[in-house]
Amino acid sequence: MDGSVSRSEFEDQTKRLEKDGQFVFNGNWDEIFRKIDLDGDGRIDYHEFCVATIDHKKLLTEQNLKYVFDTLDVDKNGSIDIQEFKD
């Protein structure tokens, strides 16, 4: 176990779930895998998995975005400069 999932591991597990009747999918697994594999290395790591499974509508609320902006705007001048972003 290296903390990521290869294309073949992904396919094997989804086929097992389908066979067990726990999952049904009629789409294109190659396309789905490509969309999840953000860096194109042929593996899905934890970060890529989280990005793919987050409900962006719930996460990207105005309140959450304001909180992140205010956290990054250390000098509270209403903008985030590159140094604040790096810090």
Q: Name the token pair of 49.
A: 């998995």
Higher pLDDT, 78 or 55: 78
**Delimiting residues of CATH 1.10.238.10 domain(s) in the chain:** 1-53
Quick one: pLDDT at residue 55? Answer: 82
Give the architecture-level CATH label for domain 1-53. Answer: Orthogonal Bundle (1.10)
Looking at the DSSP bridge assignments, the partners of residue 5 are 44
What secondary structure does DSSP assign to 18-67, as a single string?
HHTTS----S-HHHHHHHH-TT-SSEEEHHHHHHHHS-HHHHS-HHHHHH
**How much is the pLDDT for 40?**
93
Q: What's the pLDDT score for residue 45? A: 94
pLDDT computed for residue 42 by the predictor: 92
- The confidence score (pLDDT) of residue 1 equals 61
Q: What is the pLDDT of residues 7-66, one digit of tens each?
A: 888 888 888 888 888 778 777 888 888 899 999 999 999 999 998 988 878 888 889 889
